[in-house]
Copies of this chain bind each other. A is one copy, B any other.
Amino acid sequence: MLEQLGINAKKAASSLASATTEEKNNALVKISKALVDNAEKIIDANKIDLENGRNAGLNQGLLDRLMLDEKRISDMADGCIQVSKLDDPCGKILETVTRPNGLVIKKVSCPIGVIGIIYEARPNVTADAAVLCLKSGNAVILRGGKEAINSNIAISEIMRDAIKDAGFDENCVQLVHDTSRDSSTELMQMKDYLDCLIPRGSKRLIKAVVEKSTVPVIETGSGNCHIYVDETADIDMAANIIFNAKTQRIGVCNACESLVIHSGIIDKALPVIKAKLDEKNVEIRGDKRAKAVCPDIKDATEEDFGTEYLDYIISVKTVDSLDEAIEHINKYSTGHSESIITEDKDNARKFMQLIDSSSVYHNASTRFTDGGEFGLGAEIGISTQKLHARGPMGLRELTTTKYLIFGDGQIR
């Protein structure tokens, strides 16, 4: 039943492909204004979602993610303005080659076309994702969770009116109103209309999309992030970084979930790290050698090393060498972010070369893996796969390239 949305999106994408930067920015400014002007309408719709959520027994965390107030709507509106100020990622000439036969081949950046976004209960994604797609010249089909459907309809209708008002086809942004599982599955199979599908949300959602989709997927993912304390680490620096990476915000994908510590430094390092983590009552689960150093920590099981806690819990693995650390991390990590704390530059270099993750740090917190912190200006997600985009994805990652070849009659 979503086919008509696909047809509409393809048509809208075609008109967006020739839009100027000014035209696109103008639409973003209009969307921003419309969101603020219609805040009450959005809040009214959101109240219905909150009421339904309470009746359905959603927990406090989910209700909080679902909730929109003037501040959050104003943040969405500010986001539009920020994105309008970013560099247009389309139309960049990335390479020019002149071949011996006289053909001039230019590789240029251009919109991907039609992007599908499947997400869960956060209605702000509706505006954030639409705005990033619009700026990068892509039509978008949004499929949010049923918990936020009233809010999403309100936000998307306001955006569509603003887009139309800016002279664009309002189908640049479309929301799937049917929130049954069938609509989600259908979207994943719309290969004729969608060029790319980006799931945003829980591990379960992402897994389902990867397994069922025939549309190319950019997997944004979970982070079982490690910090390795090397034999020559500055212990105070290590403790500070670990404390930050574990506790500054526990529910995020770039939080540290597991420590790996060299046996040559664990006697000195672990008590200092533990003292710091105790400040926020972080539960430490260690292997035998870690327990020998700090007997009051809990036992780590094999399962712990593979767990993204998203909680005040951290695991500790003891190793005898850098190689063992690298092997352990590459086995258990989700390829998101890992850090080495060391004063040995050769070890840092080896770690950074061999760790198979999107972002590998030397002497810094894993919490920096973020579009804003990397200077991308905005972020549609963090890719933990290796094709197309890896790590924080900004506007540029929402473009593809094409070859333009200029001839004067060349034949082969």
Spell out A's residues near B (CB within 8 Å): 14, 17-18, 97, 99, 103, 105, 110, 112-113, 191, 195-196, 210-211, 214, 216-219, 234, 237, 240-241, 243-245, 248, 330, 350, 352-354, 356-365, 367-369, 373-375, 385-388, 390-391, 400-412
Contacts and interface: CB of A to CB of B under 8 A. Distances in A.
A403 to B, nearest CB: 4
A387 B387 contact: yes
Given A14-B354, A388-B387, A391-B402, A410 B195 contact: no
A97 B374 contact: yes
Given A368-B103, A375-B99, A407 B362 contact: yes
A17 B354 contact: yes
A33 to B, nearest CB: 30
Given A363-B409, A404-B360, A407-B364, A388 B388 contact: yes
Given A248-B412, A400-B390, A375 B97 contact: yes
B387 A216 contact: yes
27 contacts: A14-B330, A14-B354, A14-B356, A97-B375, A99-B374, A191-B210, A195-B385, A216-B386, A216-B387, A244-B412, A248-B412, A358-B402, A359-B402, A360-B402, A360-B405, A361-B406, A363-B410, A364-B405, A364-B407, A364-B408, A364-B410, A365-B407, A368-B405, A368-B410, A373-B412, A374-B403, A387-B387
Nearest to A11: B327
Q: What is the copy number of this chain in the assembly?
A: 2
Interface of A is mostly: mixed
Q: Shortest 5 CB-CB distances between A and B: which pairs?
A: A364-B407, A244-B411, A387-B388, A386-B400, A388-B388
B244 A406 contact: no
Contact of A402 (B17, B357, B387, B404): B357
A173 to B, nearest CB: 20
Nearest to A17: B354
A412 B196 contact: no
A324 to B, nearest CB: 13
A390 to B, nearest CB: 5
Contacts of A99: 373-375
Contact of A403 (B217, B358, B365, B407): B358
A241 B358 contact: no
